[in-house]
Amino acid sequence: MKVGIVGATGEVGRTMIKVLEESNLKVDGLRLFASKKSAGKKLKFKDKEYTIEEISENVMREKYDYLLFSAGGNVSRRYAPIAAEAGNVIIDNSSAFRMQENIPLVVPEINGEIIKNYKGIIANPNCSTIQMVLALSEIQKQIGIEEIFVSTYQAVSGAGNKGIQELLNQQNGINNTAHFPDIIMNNVIPQIGPILENGFTEEEMKMVNETRKIFNDDSISVYPTAVRVPVLYGHSESVVFRIKKDIPLETIKNLISATENVVYTEKLLTPLMVAGSNITYVSRLRKMGKNTFLIWIVADNVRVGAATNAVRILLKHLEMRD
């Protein structure tokens, strides 16, 4: 199988390589792409070294079984349509195409069937959205959700290599703030991405719009506050959700436990505990009044929120191919 990874040197790209290694997929034609800066550098996949190539329109016109993009919106906008035109299947981690009507936005455990025999660009959702919709998906499917109130606690790796470096620099006494709007060390910052005209941030509106698209249900109201915290890996979320009928807490627990790739636990859960895992963890289930429940969700943002979901899309597409 010939697979290309665009943005292979980044946080998500390197993790895609690891997740592909961990899968049973037989990749015998791996190609790794990044910017000119990284061309010629080498990365390992299953004990073999691969040389990074500079991305170009020509290499995107070649035929691949799958192309995984994680090099930011501008690179995706420029190169993914060329690769799609050449007949390739592209799984794109950027936000460039997510809300385009003709582009499937996929969490395979929830709506993977929509990409059966599909060719072209498939969008991978936003990291905070993936773990939230995964945790709530059986409840949405079996009962129906009316409202979701969510506050996120997002790791610096969500902003890529540069985000991690900024926290590490600050811990080493260099107080630069090139990528976050304030000092992140010993702090929390209630703004991720630019603030839009409606007062919400871009990250928050992704959670509103992408949740509706993935669940194919525009009636769901999502009320998000996205917050950056000085954690390296693992996004946490405090979620309050209101469902369409009153059911016992135990039923909600069973629905969450029955969800593929989601684990419910009574244990205390922190991002440090889940970093490196492909599972979305849920704990602290509570009920307040009628129809209203509270949970705590934690998952590795670079895996569950990006690389693992992308590889799961690939595997699902492959499994359904006629």
Q: How far is the CB of 47 from ligand NAP (least distance, A)?
A: 22
- Residues 238-257, one symbol each (x = binds ligand NAP by CB under 6 A, - = not), give --------------------
Q: Are strands 280-287 and 262-264 parallel, antiparallel or unpaired?
A: parallel
Instruction: Work out which of 42, 44, 116, 162 binds ligand NAP, going by CB under 6 A.
Output: 162
Q: Is 9 an interacting residue with respect to ligand NAP (CB under 6 A)?
A: yes
- Residue from 84, 156, 184, 306 in contact with ligand NAP (CB under 6 A): 306
Based on CB atoms, which residue is closest to ligand NAP, 120 or 305?
305
CB neighbour class for 98 (10 Å; exposed up to 12, middle 13-18, buried from 19): buried
Q: By CB under 6 A, is residue 7 in contact with ligand NAP?
A: yes
The tokens for 33 are: 């792409």
Q: In sequence order, what are the residues at sequence separation of 6 or more whose Cβ sits closer than 8 angstroms to the Cβ of residue 212?
A: 218, 220, 222
When the beta carbons of 5 and 145 are compared against ligand NAP, the nearer one is 5
Alpha carbons 241 and 132: distance in angstroms, whole number: 11
Q: Which of 88, 94, 170, 308 binds ligand NAP (CB under 6 A)?
A: 94
Q: Which of residues 39-58 bind ligand NAP (CB under 6 A)?
A: 55
142 interacts with ligand NAP by CB under 6 A: no
For every residue of 107-173, DSSP letters joined together read: -HHHHGGGGTT--EEEEPPPHHHHHHHHHHHHHHHHT-EEEEEEEEEB-GGGGHHHHHHHHHHHHTT
Which of 98, 235, 303, 317 is the catalytic position?
235
Q: Rounded to an integer, what distance in angstroms lies between the CA atom of residue 136 and that of residue 280?
A: 11
CA pair distance 287, 230, nearest whole angstrom? 30
Identity of residue 79: Y
Identify which of residues 71 and 269 has a Cβ nearer to ligand NAP in the complex. Answer: 71
Burial class (CB in 10 A: 0-12, 13-18, 19+), 246: exposed
| 61 is a site residue for ligand NAP (CB under 6 A) | no
The residue range among 10-18, 112-120, 170-178, 221-229 that interacts with ligand NAP, by the rule CB under 6 A, is: 10-18
Q: Among residues 3, 11, 32, 314, which is the contact residue for ligand NAP, using CB under 6 A?
A: 11
User: Is 317 considered catalytic here?
Assistant: no
Q: Write out the catalytic residue numbers.
A: 127, 235
Site residues (vs ligand NAP, CB under 6 A): 7-13, 34-35, 37-38, 55, 70-73, 75, 93-94, 127, 157-158, 160-162, 301-302, 305-306
